[in-house]
Amino acid sequence: MALPKYTEPHYRIWHYVYLFICGCVFFFLIAPLFVIFPLSFNAEEFLVITDGMKRLDPDAFSLRWYKDMVYGTKNPWGLAAKNSFFIAIFATIGAVILGTVAALGLSSRYMPYKGIIMATLISPMIVPLIISGVAIFFFMAKAGLAATHTGIIIAHIILGTPFVVITVTATLSGFDHSVTRAAASLGSNPVNTFMKITLPLILPGVISGALFAFVTSFDEVVIVLFLAGLDNTTIPVQMWTGLREQLSPTILSVATCLILLSTLVLVAAELLRRRSERIRGINR
């Protein structure tokens, strides 16, 4: 973005003002995440930056809240983490299978009523969560699935499928169908063709859809609040309760772990995107 030498002074000033504005916005986006790190190492019980921390006094920092997170008495985080992973993994598997198969159908040029069906399949992403929560709660209560893992997993499959449908249809949009026809002409049956030819090619899309579905389920709190009993508590529900009742620094330790987790997801998603672009580039 270097400016040419002949730029007039007032445009030059405007350019730096523009860069400054951009810097502020980036700061606004990313900085809030970083307050959590130092405070999670706080030795005190308060959620403020103490004088000791400002002086970088080593006594002001400690790992006590991380210890509390792992070993603390009457500690809900262990159960919550177990539930969260259990629910998210099964919800992801369900969403990926249903979503990928549906995306294959949707990308077929023979698909009838494509517009309205696509709109229906994407709707769980658009409908406000609170409404989905109310509707799913009524359904689960009638079906006797309230306060069960099964009920929550089904709810999260609903929320996760739109992401899988979107990412997989996007991958399939650059897909060269003559490859599958070639496989069929060489005597491969449809299932074999799918497993050996189609799936490896659309895999980046499928995995990035799976990441979305996993994160959606792992982070979802509104529907779990409606559906969960005491045994179904998840990490977001525990955070929600903690944030509403007393802000303890233990929450910040958990939050730090979650930020690290999302960094991993971000890196994975980014690598997948590039790989997908490369594979599709070859196809074209």
Partner 1 sequence: MSSETQRILTTDGIPLEVSLKKVERRNKFKAFLLVAPLLFFLLIVYISPIIGMLFNSVDDRMVTNALPKTFIAMEKWDGKELPSEEVFEAFYIDFQKLIEEEREGKLSTQLNYEKNGFKSIIKKLRRKSKSFEEGNYKEQIMAVHERWADVEYWRAIKRRAPSYSYSKYLKGVDMYQNQEGKFVQVEEDRRIYKKLWVRTLKIAFYVTLFCFLMAYPIAHLLATLPMKYSNLLMICVLLPFWTSLLVRTASWMILLQQQGVVNDFLVWIGLVADDERLVMMYNETGTYIAMTQILLPFMVLPLYSVMKTISPSLVRAGKSLGGTPFTTFWKVYFPLTIPGIGAGSLLVFILAIGYYITPELVGGASGTLISNMIAYHMKYTLDWSFASAMGLMLLAGVLAIYWVYNKLVGIDNIKLG
Nearer to partner 1, 93 or 122 (CB): 122
CB of 164: closest distance to partner 1 in angstroms? 9
Options 61-69, 72-80, 175-183, 239-247: segment touching partner 1 (CB under 8 A): 239-247
Options 56-64, 72-80, 85-93, 236-244: segment touching partner 1 (CB under 8 A): 236-244
Convert 46-109 into a string of H (helix), E (strand) and C (coil). CCCCCHHHHCCCHHHECCHHHHHHHHCCCCCHHHHHHHHHHHHHHHHHHHHHHHHHHHHHHCCC
Count of chain residues binding partner 1 (CB under 8 A): 91
Q: How far is CA 169 from CA 72, 101, 103, 273, in A?
A: 46, 10, 5, 14
Using rule CB under 8 A, residue 197 touches partner 1: no
Dist CA 2 CA 18 (whole Å): 13
Nearer to partner 1, 38 or 72 (CB): 38
Task: State both tokens at 77.
Answer: 């985080």
**Contacting partner 1 (CB under 8 A), which of 13, 70, 131, 199?**
131
Dist CA 23 CA 19 (whole Å): 6
Nearer to partner 1, 51 or 59 (CB): 51
Using rule CB under 8 A, residue 105 touches partner 1: yes
Task: State both tokens at 105.
Answer: 């159908």
CB-based contact 280:171 (threshold 8 Å) = yes
* Alpha helices per DSSP H over the chain: 9-40, 51-54, 64-71, 77-106, 114-126, 129-143, 149-173, 178-185, 190-193, 199-219, 222-227, 235-244, 249-283
Using rule CB under 8 A, residue 16 touches partner 1: no
Instruction: Give the footprint of partner 1 on residues 249-268 (CB under 8 A).
Output: 251-252, 255, 258-259, 262-263, 265-266
Dist CA 173 CA 156 (whole Å): 26
Q: Which of 194, 167, 164, 161 is nearest to 179 (CA)?
A: 194
Site string for partner 1, 201-220 (x = CB under 8 A): -------x---x--x--xx-
Nearer to partner 1, 79 or 129 (CB): 129
Q: Which residues have a Cβ under 8 Å from the Cβ of 189 and sit 6 or more positions away?
A: none
Options 58-66, 106-114, 174-182, 196-204: segment touching partner 1 (CB under 8 A): 106-114
Instruction: Give the footprint of partner 1 on residues 134-153 (CB under 8 A).
Output: 134-139
Using rule CB under 8 A, residue 81 touches partner 1: no
Site string for partner 1, 27-56 (x = CB under 8 A): -xxx-xx-xx--x------xxxx-------
Using rule CB under 8 A, residue 122 touches partner 1: yes
**Contacting partner 1 (CB under 8 A), which of 9, 58, 128, 187?**
128
Task: State both tokens at 6.
Answer: 């002949």
Q: Which of 157, 99, 103, 155 is nearest to 132 (CA)?
A: 155
Options 63-71, 72-80, 117-125, 180-188: segment touching partner 1 (CB under 8 A): 117-125
Using rule CB under 8 A, residue 127 touches partner 1: yes
**Contacting partner 1 (CB under 8 A), which of 170, 179, 184, 197?**
170
